[in-house]
Each structure stands twice: as structure tokens, then as C-alpha cells.
A and B are shown apart, each in its own frame.
Chain A
Amino acid sequence: MIAAAPPVLDQGCASAPVLRERGQREVFCGLTGIVWLHRKMPDAFFLVVGSRTCAHLLQSAAGVMIFAEPRFATAIIEERDLAGLADANEELDRVVRRLLARRPEIRTLFLVGSCPSEVIKLDLARAAQRLAGAFLPDVRIVNYSGSGIETTFTQGEDACLASLVPFMPEPAAGAEPELLIVGALPDIVEDQLVRLVRDLGITRVSCLPARQSRDLPAVGPNTRFLLAQPFLGDTAQALEDRGAVHLSAPFPFGAEGTTDWLHAAARAFGVDEMHFRATVAPGRERAKRALEHSRAQLEGKSIFFLPDSQLELPLARFLHRELGMVPVEVGTPYLHRAHMAAELAQLPEATVISEGQDVDRQLDRVRAAKPDITVCGLGLANPLEAEGFTTKWAIELVFSPIHGFDQAGDLAELFARPIRRRDVLRV
């Protein structure tokens, strides 16, 4: 049913030149990661140390969620905090004490750095240590940076998870190999994937982040880890520094991607090939059936990705290989060559891979290419629609369940719907 993959004579885009651009970037900063991370770790609180702009960003990104007693806030730096650093530290301690007194159920407090706090060199790492003395063992205080000068959108999750790695315990001596799935996934997706892994016979499996922030899995030389998300370069590095071994795989989008991803684990844990095929077959078939619904709308359509989340390459691969779409340009804010090797190899050679952005020039390329659908942020989506382009706003791809077999159809539908809407409207 699914179109046969183009013969793997060449290496797709594996060694294609990458267009590197620098200029205005129309992207979110890493603080935005808080909006989904705080839902994944219900016992953690995220305190941004930043400006009114940071608070305004979180408010705009979190939309209506901000009212449901959220577990994030901003300590807004004011003029008097800028007068002297010692003062700022005292102020921060005061805010943290007040916060933790009001929210005694919090087990982990993330002090999240922002552009202003980084530029004035407010040492949040030291602040975390200082405060840890006062609050451990009840509250663990962790620091990472979600600033725009250092992180783009989903890289905030990378920085957050990397900051947790030093707190992961050592496994017991002589422990069996264990599989670690890395990257925040919606609970239902996580459950599906863990179930499949267990069905393969890999019973020792855990996830980072864990649903309870203090329930961190162990890590050591016996750990094999699979990345569920493509934006976890620093976290992977930190895990490797603790001796863990990365299992190279495409990312689990679509029937193929999910199969290949699970296959990487199966091979590493010596799962019998027949058993592997038997285990994944039902889910894989369901996924393929679900994809058929969108295929008619998407096959042969061209797609242009503007950089946003680093999900662009795996999604382009999925749309190309499993739905027959034609990627014109795939932009990514940051390209991790090693983690993306399997994805790049499966993209058609003619695809332009771009890293970074000069948004006005990139929009010129969109206009010249006239793609059937353009994946972009909300700041660009309506203006492009007004110019007659069909768009898919990218942020939804980070908030919706899209990984694994049983979400493959939903993922395709996210791209098919704007095209269908364009076709049904008579206004």
C-alpha cells in the first residue's frame, strides 16, 4: 500500500550541502518548553528568572492554560535588581522561599535562565546550590537556561533534561542492561511505546523525564537509550558521558519510522527477528490503514518547512516516504548530523536542507517555490494565508500526540486538514 521507498542507491540527503543562514529568526526561545514540560512533571515548578517580556511570552504561549493554577511563573527582574548583583541574589532567594512556602507539594524547582539573567550573569547554578542547602531533601533545585540567545523552542526541553542527568542514580552493580526512552511524550503515547517494547521482551525499560520528577531512572554503562525526540543533543551527550549507549534510529513517526525505531531497540537487546515482526505487525498494519485516509489529499503535494522545532526532518521523511509528499525545503533551527543521519538518508536528493534562518529571504524562497503547504509559526501563518499560501502552524506538532503507530493517522491528518479546508471553502 505504501509506495516503495526509492531505491537506496544514493544516500538521499545524507551528504547534501546544507544551506546555513543567519539573519532574523522567527522562532520561539527555549522558555516555551516549560508549557509542555510542566504538564509532564506534575510535581515540578518552573521559575523563570527574567523580564516582563519572558512573562508575557509564557502567557502568550500558554494561552488559556495559565489560569489552571499553573506550575510555572516568572520572577520579573526590576530596575532595583539591576543595581547590584548581591541584591538580585537576595531577591531571588526571597521569591523562592515565598513560592515554596505557598506550594508545599512541589518536589523539584527548576530555576530557568533567560536572556536578561544570562546577560547580567546572574549565577543561577550557584543560586540553585545555595538554595538546595535550605530545601533538600524536600525540594530539589535544578538550573538550566531557556534563553533565546542560547536555545530555540524545543531546545528548552533538551536543556531541562540535560540538567536532570547528573541527578540520575547509578545502577546497582552488575545490573542487567536497561532501555531508556528519552524525551517528553504525551502519557498515552509513552504508554503505547513502553507496552510495545515490553511485548518485544525488553522488560527493563524506563523514561526520561519520569512522570514524577524525583523518580529519575538510573543511568550507567548498561543503559541503552533511544531518543523519542530529535532535539535532544545535549541530553544525549550528558547520558553518553555517564556511559550510556545511544541506539541510532530514525524517529518514531509513521508506520516505518516507528518500526525502525523499535527495531533499533530489538537489535540491541537481541530480540528474535521473527518475534519482532510478529509483535510490531498489528500496530504497523493499523498505522498503514490509518494513513490511507490522508494519502489521496497529500500524495504528490509539495511541502516547505520553516525552522521551528527540529522535528522538521523526521516529519518531512515521514510525509515523503509514507504519504508521497515532495519536500521542497526543510528548514531546521539546528542540525545534529549524527542524530539525523537516518532521516537525511531517506529524503529525496533534490530537497534543500537549511539550518538557521534569514526569515525574509526564506519567505522569498517560499514565494518562488509556491509549495502546496508551508509549515511555519503562528507569526507567519496568517500573513502567508493572506498571500494565498496554505499553511500548517508548526507549534501544534509539538503539543499533539503524533509519535508511534496509533498516532500515524492523526499526524497525517494534521497536514491533510488545511489542504482539505482550502478546497471546501467557498468564501
Chain B
Amino acid sequence: MQLSVWTYEGPPHIGAMRVATGMRDVHYLLHAPQGDTYADLLFTMIERRGKRPPVTYTTFQARDLGKDTAELFQSAARDAVARFKPAAMLVGASCTAELIQDDPAGMAQAMRLDIPVIPLELPSYSRKENWGASETFYQIVRALAVGDSSRPAPCQAGSPRPKANLLGPSALGFRHRDDIVEIAKILAALGVEINVTAPLGASAADIARIGEADFNIVLYPEIADTAARWLERNFRQPFTRTTPIGHGATIDFIHEVAKLAGVDPSPALDIAEARMPWWSRSVDSTYLTGKRVFIFGDATHAIAAARVARDELGFVVCGLGCYNREFARDLRAAAADHGVEPLITDDHLEVEEAIAAAHPELVLGTQMERHIAKRLSIPCAVISAPVHVQDFPARHSPQMGFEGANVLFDSWVHPLVMGLEEHLLTMFRDDFEFHDGAGASHLHGSAPKAVPLPDQATGRGGSEPLGEPATAAAASPPPTPSLAAGQDGELLERTLWTAEAEAELKKIPFFVRGKARRNTERYAEERGLASISLDTLYDAKAHYAR
């Protein structure tokens, strides 16, 4: 048994629901107890869908066990087919139904329905959501595309333009909706026709003609890899290996697609909207150099993010990990490339420990890392599922392609700018223009409350409700003027500094002053110096200079 509060992935039947819900005329009959319908609200609330997921739950209860769950299953199947008239039906069991002895596949096949019935074996006690989605998509492709595979070879010759399938986008996928739009733009520029996009938006008939494409574009390997490999074997369709997340990866992707399609890549390469490279080279971005970033998510997004972070923003990757073991090998390779230990775990406590130990200046992760970063007061941006409702935005916000790279730049740099802003405000808190009583300069209503800067050292526990900044100030060490009288523990340390050196230290800009103090003290300690003089300060500076 595994003790768990948070899970990065749901059970595998949730993955099957993501595939079914993404498609148009496929219905999923799920043998499941009362209560498993909770999963519907992931789609209706988080993704804000205006339709119920195409799932019928048999809803067995305790009193049904041991007698008529099979009958329940068959009547649910009949009702679902009559009501929804699907073109194909998936049948499977949720975790509880897996434990009872009914056989959904056998029962459904025995009914001889006049639509294809695709049985799903999703082992709930050893596999998870992504695996379930991947397996479901594979089974659908296998069942429906096979029926139409009498032709000997892919029909490359018959097509006036090269054709490709877009594989992997599904319901409840992180930015899948908008990624498709960006990839379509690239393919249009290359003159490549999209044969089928699946599972998102595809019908059973679309799947049946999936073999008509010349090659496959795998957008999300977590969902499409198994199906793409099968199509490669059975329909001789090669597939892309590059995930076009980031500017460089998009360029690589265009070259890869152009090669598979046998076309000239250049029309797609100079799409005018690629602003990310210039934004990143502009001087305002210089302060991003060397920022330590911790990256965690699904393997595809994490690996892509690491490349963007290092090569396109000039960050240093100080941690890299993923929660889906299926792609652990790829992640290990990427981690080795960045010179960090790979973190492959689905235990959020382990991730939290790793983040705390790495001391990053930015965290890129899932919803969970967002909360961890909040707790540790580290800026953070979301790069991967699982995500909450705000990461299914109304506006266009892809991760892939050139516009995706623009989005990445904005969404990753934004929390850092915010972080710097907050830092500046804290630093200037004692400044006459910025003290707590001054209020915001653009809000006249709350401007100067005629409160003199309170003596924060004794301000603790006052009965007045303090604003948050004031409370924070009360909890932090007293400001500089009271240093002379300092607290006992600090007094010893402070005496190391000569007055002259201390005065010089205060001339150093505040945002590097703390680092200068620490470095100088470490330098003095390592050399056993009794006091820190002006020379020590500059010796240390020279020593740590790079």
C-alpha cells in the first residue's frame, strides 16, 4: 500500500475517458460502482465542457454484487447504444469492477451489437492515467484502422499533397486545443495536409482512414507513442520524434517534418510571430542569466522545458524530474545532459524535498509544484498537467510552435518580474516613500495615513490589524539602525566588521548586499581572520569574482 494525499495521475480509466471524450462518436461503457461518475466533473468543470463525457457507468451497488452485475452491464450497454447511437463502443472496468469476476469484453461481445466493440484491459492497481489513455488510443486505432487495411501499402502515391496525422491531443490535455492550431499553421506553411487529428475531434470513421497519411506527427508521446509505433509497423508510417515546444525545438520539428514530407522547410521557418529569440536577447533579459530553475512535470513537457530554459532563456537547470515512469529513460538522458540527478517519482513529498534542497530561483512544474513553490516563496510557472481550471484559459495560449515559444517566454518570465518587484518593495519598505503607512502611489484614497514609520522591533503583537507587509516586517529582523544594539546572537558576528568596512558594505546595492556580506564572512572565517577590514571586503570580492 502506498500512502498518498496527492496523485499526479488518476487511475487508467480516466485516461480512457480522456480519449473517449476527445472523440466525437465513440461511447465508453464503464463497469463501475456508484460514485465513479465524479470523473465527469473534471471535464465539465476543469475543461469547462458543455457536454457530458460520453461515458455510461453501470453503477452497481452492494446489493447487486454476486448476482446481477452482468445483467446490469448488458442492459446498460443496450440502453447506451439505443440512446447515443455511437459508431463504436469502448467497454472496460474501473478498479472495483476489475476485482469482481464479470468480464466486460466477453459480455459485450456476446451481445453481438452491430457496432465495433473495443474491449479495454486497464490494470488499475499497477497502471495510471497516461498509460490508460495511451492503451485506449492504441486499441481504438488497432480495432478501427485494421478493418480498412486491405490495401498493400500506404497510399502515398495517390495523394496530391503529403498528408500527416496529428496524434496525441485529447480531452483534459494541457493546452492541447491551442497546440493543434499552431502545428496546423506550420503544416499549412509547409504544404502538408492534415489527414486526421486524433483522438481530439476525431470520429470513428476518421480513425478508419488513419492509414491514408504518409506519416504521423506525434505531439504527445504519453498518449500517442504506442499507437504511432503500431502504425509504423502496420502502415509503414514513420513518425516524428521532436516535440515542438520552444523555439529551437520548433525549428528542429519543422526540419524533421519537411524531411518526412519531402518538402522545403523554409516557408515555415520564417513565421513572423517568432518574437521569443529577440525578447530573450534584449538587454532587459540579461538578469535572467544563470537563474537556477527546477523543472518537474510529465516527461515530455519537462524535457522540452529544460531545453528552453538553458538554451533559450539562459537559465541553469538545477533539477529535472517527471512523474510518469513510462518515459523515465528519456528523462534520465535529459538530466544527464543538464548534469543533474533525474528525479522520477510520483510522491509529491519527495518533489518538495528536492525543490527545497536545490534552492531554485524559479520552479516550472504542475499545479502541485505551484503550491510547493508558494509555500517556499519561490516564483513558479505551470508547464504540465495536472493543472487546475485556470490553466484551461479562454485565450489562445499554446505551448508548441513559435507562438507557443512566445507564450513560454511571457509565462515563465512574468513570475520572475513579479518576484523582483516584490523584492524591491520589501527592500524599500523602510524608505520614506515606500513605508507601510504610505500606501500605493496610484491610490490616493489610501495614501499617507500620517502614521510615522512604526518601530517594528517593538511593533509585534500590537492590537491594530496590520497589513501583511507590516506583519512580515514585524517578524523579520529589525532594520539596520538597530543593528548596533543587535540581538545577542548577531552581536558577535557583527563585531567582526570594522566600522569602515561596514560603512562600505552599505554602499553596495541592496540586491547584492546580502550576498556580499555572506561571501565576505565566509572568506574571513575560512582564513581565520579576526575582523573584516575594507581590504578583506575587496579581497573576498576578488576571490569570488568570476
The residue of chain B having its C-beta at the shortest distance from the C-beta of A149 within the complex is B62
A152-B34 CB under 8 A given contacts A60-B42, A380-B52, A382-B48: yes
Complex Cα spacing A51 to B83, Å: 31
- Whether a CB of chain A sits under 8 angstroms from the CB of B522 is no
A51-B96 CB under 8 A given contacts A25-B59, A60-B38, A378-B44: yes
Query: Per-residue 0/1 for B69-103: is the Cβ within 8 Å of any A Cβ (1 yes, 0 no)?
Result: 00000001001000100000000001110011000
A150 x B62 contact (CB < 8 A): yes
- Whether a CB of chain B sits under 8 angstroms from the CB of A79 is yes
Complex Cα spacing A244 to B388, Å: 47
Complex Cα spacing A82 to B123, Å: 12
The residue of chain A having its C-beta at the shortest distance from the C-beta of B46 within the complex is A60
- Whether a CB of chain A sits under 8 angstroms from the CB of B481 is no
Contact of B51 among A66, A98, A386 (CB under 8 A): A386
- Whether a CB of chain A sits under 8 angstroms from the CB of B50 is yes
B56 / chain A contacts, CB cutoff of 8 Å? 24
B61 / chain A contacts, CB cutoff of 8 Å? 148-150
- Whether a CB of chain A sits under 8 angstroms from the CB of B312 is no
- Whether a CB of chain A sits under 8 angstroms from the CB of B528 is no
B36 x A75 contact (CB < 8 A): no
- Whether a CB of chain B sits under 8 angstroms from the CB of A111 is no
A181 / chain B contacts, CB cutoff of 8 Å? none
Contact of A26 among B37, B45, B62 (CB under 8 A): B37
- Whether a CB of chain B sits under 8 angstroms from the CB of A88 is yes
- Whether a CB of chain A sits under 8 angstroms from the CB of B65 is yes
- Whether a CB of chain A sits under 8 angstroms from the CB of B58 is yes
B37 / chain A contacts, CB cutoff of 8 Å? 24-27, 377, 379
Q: Report the minimal beta-carbon distance from A422 to chain B, rounded to whole angstroms.
A: 15
- Whether a CB of chain B sits under 8 angstroms from the CB of A55 is yes
B58 / chain A contacts, CB cutoff of 8 Å? 24
The residue of chain B having its C-beta at the shortest distance from the C-beta of A75 within the complex is B1
Contact of B1 among A81, A119, A379 (CB under 8 A): A81
- Whether a CB of chain A sits under 8 angstroms from the CB of B126 is yes
Complex Cα spacing A75 to B125, Å: 12
B4 x A67 contact (CB < 8 A): no
The residue of chain B having its C-beta at the shortest distance from the C-beta of A57 within the complex is B38
- Whether a CB of chain A sits under 8 angstroms from the CB of B281 is no
Contact of B57 among A24, A53, A377 (CB under 8 A): A24
Binding stretch for chain A, among B7-15, B137-145, B287-295? B7-15
- Whether a CB of chain A sits under 8 angstroms from the CB of B5 is yes
A378 x B41 contact (CB < 8 A): yes
The residue of chain A having its C-beta at the shortest distance from the C-beta of B7 within the complex is A55
A59 x B51 contact (CB < 8 A): no
The residue of chain A having its C-beta at the shortest distance from the C-beta of B100 within the complex is A119
A91 / chain B contacts, CB cutoff of 8 Å? 1
User: Which residues in chain B, 12-70, are within 8 Å of chain A measured between CB atoms?
Assistant: 13-14, 33-42, 44-45, 48-52, 56-62, 65
Contact of B35 among A27, A74, A95, A380 (CB under 8 A): A27
Q: How many residues of B contact A (CB 8 A)?
A: 53
Q: Report the minimal beta-carbon distance from B45 to chain A, rounded to whole angstroms.
A: 5
- Whether a CB of chain A sits under 8 angstroms from the CB of B371 is yes
Interface of A is mostly: helix
Interface range, A side: 35 or more
B3 x A99 contact (CB < 8 A): yes
The residue of chain B having its C-beta at the shortest distance from the C-beta of A90 within the complex is B1
- Whether a CB of chain A sits under 8 angstroms from the CB of B480 is no
- Whether a CB of chain B sits under 8 angstroms from the CB of A78 is yes
User: Which residues in chain A, 150-208, are within 8 Å of chain B measured between CB atoms?
Assistant: 150, 152
- Whether a CB of chain B sits under 8 angstroms from the CB of A56 is yes
Complex Cα spacing A59 to B6, Å: 6
- Whether a CB of chain A sits under 8 angstroms from the CB of B124 is yes
Complex Cα spacing A217 to B290, Å: 61
A77 x B1 contact (CB < 8 A): yes
Contact of B76 among A24, A82, A95 (CB under 8 A): A24
Query: Per-residue 0/1 for A65-99: is the Cβ within 8 Å of any B Cβ (1 yes, 0 no)?
Result: 01100101111111101100000100110110011
B14 / chain A contacts, CB cutoff of 8 Å? 56
Complex Cα spacing A61 to B94, Å: 19
A29 x B33 contact (CB < 8 A): yes
A24-B49 CB under 8 A given contacts A53-B11, A92-B1, A148-B34: no
A150 / chain B contacts, CB cutoff of 8 Å? 61-62
B44 x A383 contact (CB < 8 A): yes
Q: Report the minimal beta-carbon distance from B460 to chain A, rounded to whole angstroms.
A: 25
The residue of chain A having its C-beta at the shortest distance from the C-beta of B62 within the complex is A149
Contact of A385 among B11, B33, B50, B65 (CB under 8 A): B50
7 other contacts beyond A116-B99, A149-B65, A379-B38, with CB at 8 A cut-off? A29-B38, A60-B42, A78-B2, A78-B125, A79-B126, A116-B96, A382-B45
In the complex, 21 of the A-B residue pairs with CB atoms within 8 angstroms, ordered by the A residue number, are A23-B59, A23-B79, A25-B34, A25-B37, A49-B1, A51-B124, A52-B124, A53-B96, A56-B7, A75-B2, A78-B126, A79-B123, A115-B33, A115-B35, A120-B99, A379-B40, A379-B41, A380-B44, A381-B44, A383-B49, A383-B51
Top 5 A-B pairs, shortest CB-CB distance? A29-B35, A148-B35, A386-B50, A379-B40, A115-B96
Q: Interface on A for B, CB 8 Å cutoff?
A: 23-32, 49, 51-53, 55-57, 59-61, 64, 66-67, 70, 72-79, 81-82, 88, 91-92, 94-95, 98-99, 115-116, 118-120, 147-150, 152, 360, 377-383, 385-386
